[in-house]
């Protein structure tokens, strides 16, 4: 069983990029009076205590969201989601992407979350069910990519999928582009977002090359750079590919690029 736990890294600068873009996408997609499907392949536990032992051990949130909170006005969907979570669970609780989705989706939408790790899945179940009586909530303890392949195309077909692995399995960097190609063929109208770390050793490069080679339609490719959270850390940036990127996402991506460049 894989050992990755996001609690050590919640709220870091990679999370800020990923969650800001996710929130903007969900905000745009929920403006229309049509339900959507939200699918997440590697959900984690959804809620993280930034004053807890894991976050305190690494200090990544202190250099992340706590340092750049001013980037987001109260009306920004990322800020709105974080405020809703803080009011429900406490000011020190940081929302992972499932919680951000829960905060921004409507009662008519469908929320599908997969998590393989048994402890994380148990926490995910408790945290998501405590957040709301959301009727469209569906949880699966299953390999995320297998889950994604089994559910696509979802109903309703209009929707967004976030693929955010831990990359503990190094072959993910090579296999994900072909898996996403299969998903896109099944669900060509879906917004498919893939997050990845930018690593000093270049392990991420086959993934980037594979995604670029696939030449997906309407694909936004966004990368940001930042100092490693701790001495010896191999990650110095993060990136996202978004297939069928919603209108206006490039504006937020460009805004973030300018902000990260000033760090």
Name the residues annotated as catalytic: 164
Nearest one of 36, 129, 38 to 88, comparing CA atoms: 129
CA distance 81 to 241: 22
CA distance 44 to 166: 10
**Paired tokens of 83:** 């405020």
229, 194 contact by CB (below 8 A): no
Question: Any idea which residue has 């590919």 for tokens?
Answer: 241
Q: Show Cβ contacts of residue 152 under 8 Å, excluding neighbours closer than 6 positions.
A: 39, 161, 183, 186, 187, 190
11, 52 contact by CB (below 8 A): no
CA distance 71 to 167: 28
Task: Establish how many alpha carbons lie within 13 A of residue 67's alpha carbon, considering only the half-sphere containing its beta carbon.
Answer: 17
Roughly what angle, to the nearest 10 degrees, separates helices 249-261 and 13-29? 160
Work out whether strand 159-163 and strand 137-140 pair parallel, antiparallel, or are unpaired.
unpaired
């Amino acid at each position: 069983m894989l050992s990755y736990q996001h609690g050590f890294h919640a709220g870091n600068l990679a999370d800020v990029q990923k969650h800001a873009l996710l929130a903007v996408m969900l905000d745009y997609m929920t403006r229309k009076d049509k339900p959507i499907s939200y699918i997440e392949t590697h959900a984690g536990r959804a809620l993280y205590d930034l004053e807890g032992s894991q976050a305190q051990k690494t200090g990544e949130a202190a250099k992340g969201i706590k340092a750049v909170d001013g980037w987001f006005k109260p009306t920004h969907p990322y800020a709105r989601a974080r405020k809703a979570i803080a009011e429900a669970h406490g000011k020190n609780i940081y929302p992972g992407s499932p919680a951000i989705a829960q905060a921004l989706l409507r009662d008519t939408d469908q929320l599908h979350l997969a998590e393989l790790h048994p402890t994380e899945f148990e926490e995910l179940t408790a945290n998501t069910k405590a957040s709301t009586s959301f009727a469209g909530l569906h949880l699966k303890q299953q390999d995320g990519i297998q889950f994604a392949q089994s559910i696509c195309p979802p109903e309703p077909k209009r929707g967004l999928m976030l693929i955010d692995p831990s990359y503990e399995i190094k072959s993910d960097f090579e296999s994900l582009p072909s898996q996403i190609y299969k998903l896109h063929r099944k669900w060509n109208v879906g917004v498919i977002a893939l997050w990845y770390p930018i690593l000093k050793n270049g392990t991420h490069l086959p993934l980037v090359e594979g995604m670029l080679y696939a030449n997906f339609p309407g694909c936004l490719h966004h990368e940001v750079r930042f100092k490693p959270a701790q001495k010896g850390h191999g990650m110095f940036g993060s990136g996202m590919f978004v297939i069928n990127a919603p209108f206006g996402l490039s504006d937020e991506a460009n805004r973030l690029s300018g902000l990260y460049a000033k760090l």
